[in-house]
Structure formats: C-alpha cells, structure tokens
Structure 1
C-alpha cells in the first residue's frame, strides 16, 4: 500500500455502507484524517465517528460547510440511494425520481460547492457512480439517470475547478461485503474471476485522491471486474 495521505483531510459521504466504510478504512490506514458522513450518526471502524448529515437538505449541507474549520484535501461523494430498480415507467411517481436524483446527483454538486472555500490547492474530488451509468436493465430509470448524470457532472466540475481541484469518477460493478459467501458461478461470470470487494474500490479511490494521479482529471473509471465489456446474449 502506498500511503500519501498522512496529515491530509478527506471528507467521505455514505461512510456507513460497504464501499464507504472500505474507503474510510483504507484512508485511515494510510494515516489520513477522515471526516465521515452518513444519514445516521454512528461509531465506525478504527475509532471513527460517523457524523449524521441529511444530503436531501441543502441547508444542512451548507451548514456543514460553514462549520468546517480544517482545510480539505479530498472529497469522496459516495452516498447514494442504492436501489437500482423502480416501478415501471407508467407507474413511476415523480417523488421517487426526485428523491433519487436529490441524493445521487444534486448532493454531490452541493457538497462540492459547500467545500469550495476549504479545498487546498491540489485537492481531489472522487464521485462514486455505477456501471448502470453505461448499461441498463428494465425499470432502472431513476438510478441509471442519476449515475449517468454524476458522470457528466464529474467532467463539468473538472473543467470548472481545474487546475486547483481535480475531479474524477469511479463506477463500481457488483461489490459484496467481505462476509458474504457467493457461488462459483457468481464469481466466475466476471472476466476478473470474482465479485468485487470494498477494498477494490477503496484502493482506486485512494490513488485518484493522491499525487500519483496528478495528471488525471475529468475521467470515468469502471471497476467492475470486466463485466461491462463482456458480451452476453441469451
């Protein structure tokens, strides 16, 4: 593990989930100071206190930014309503569409906006999207649109905020908890030979946050074990 984040301050949303907790753990192991956010406050791993923040509340996000006193070296917009399926389009309520976009797309913009005064030169933002930004199945309009929008937001922000701040996006595929036991079929359908784990995403995020990715901005990184490149016909 290459550790570039001693004494660096990283803000991570969605810190209580599989991917978010893995990102926090990885960064803490590298010596970073992590401000962890989730909808519900709780105790995280490695003595990390997860703060509560409602990402559907713009005033709450702005309040978090106003209270923040330490400079910020990185922001990971990981929080999401991670249910890919919605009712059929004819039955899709506008309220659900708006709720998913509020958390998955609007909140990353608001978080980035709120932290603008705090970003150090050379800071990095990493947005966590999904392979559903580039591939779909029926009845996934809310989630797919929100994640596709996040990919587009990424390159727009990269152009607007450079050269002070770099902005990139990671789209995970199937990522399972370490404790989940999966079948050989579930693993072997992936060209990489296995389902992803949180640390697979965390290590990529850490690289994008760090100085070795200093020439990388506005890019979309797929981390899905090759599934989005595999032709599947029934």
Structure 2
C-alpha cells in the first residue's frame, strides 16, 4: 500500500501525503504502480465528463474532463510531452537533446506539440458516442500507463541520478510489481465495450516505436519520456477507438 500511496502522491497534486508518510524508497517504485493512479485520474475524468454532459453539450464536457486531469496532476505529463517535443525537435544529438529537455523554458516545438495534442484529443473524444466516453477515459488512462511502465524493462535511465529533475531514479519492476501493474492496467478493461478491444494493440505498437526512438537518440529514457510516452499512447488509443466507433455506427 505504501507504493500505491507513493504513486498517488507523486503523480497527482491531491494531498495524499497528509494520510500517511511514505518512505523515500517507495518513490523509486512509483512507475510500477502508475496504472493505479490511472484509476484515480481516469475515474475523476469519467465522472466529470458524465456530470457535465448531463447539463452542457458534449464538447464542453470533453474540455472539462481534460482540464480536471490537468488540475489533478499539475500538468506533470504535459510538461514531459512539451520537453519531449522540444528536445527531439530541436536537438541534433544525445547531449543537445537531453540539455534541451532539461531546460525549464518551453520552446516552439513544445508549444505546437501541446496545441496539436489537445486539438486532436478534443476532436477525437467529441466524435465518440458519449455513452461510451466515461468508460474510455477510465480504461485508456490506466491501460496506457500500464503499457508505458514497461519502459523500465526495455531501457536504462539516460542521465546520471544527480541530473534527474525529479531527483528520483525509478527501480526496474520485479515480477511481483509487474503483476500489480498488470492488475492496475487491465482490470478497468472490464468496463470497456467489447467492440473496442480490437484497439488494445495500438498503444503497444506506438510504445514499441517510441522506445525504439528513445534507444536510438538517447540510449535510454528520462522522466519526461515516461510522461510523453503515456500521452502519445493514450492519444493513439483514442484515435483508434474513434475510428472503430465510426465504423460500428
């Protein structure tokens, strides 16, 4: 439970730290329990969307759901996505890419990346049957975090520990933690309509490509890469669900 609580503390701005103090060692394992934080963020998004859609148009409910996650997480993953686009857009080699990604200032590539991400996310979620959307928000959040947690299995950390922005180097999962991560990521899928199960391989394939890109450019991953991988994989799943949703109408 300490590891799950540490994941809630690390990946959200909600005051879970008031419940119980967590040993610093637990924060090295938060990626293994990342999918459980998806229950919280995805669940609140789903509730927010459903509530707002009862009184306002669906596009407004989509904006509200996306905004509430930003507030809950403090835009943690979006910061990683912006740094990822800045680094890979402006960097020419490993050193320059890492240097740009560590810069706290957002650049042109980061701004454009976030704009395109949210325009696509808004349009895709607005195009889906709204009766499905709450379940999609919950399932995609948890499942894609589970998929992206395997970055620790596939890549080493690209920086030295003292250079980490979060001052935490994640520990590679053991088989017990892998099982817990799978439970966190796969259990919510019981709420997903069966017609969308065909989309489950899509974020896996996107993740494989991203980790190949990270290996080639950086020789490893960073915390920013984890957040960017999650958002890109989640967007790819929304994309595939929107396509399937259009085909089955």
**TM-score, normalized by length of structure 1?**
0.31
More strand by share: 1
More helix by share: 2
The higher-RCO structure (CA 8 Å, 6+ apart) is 2
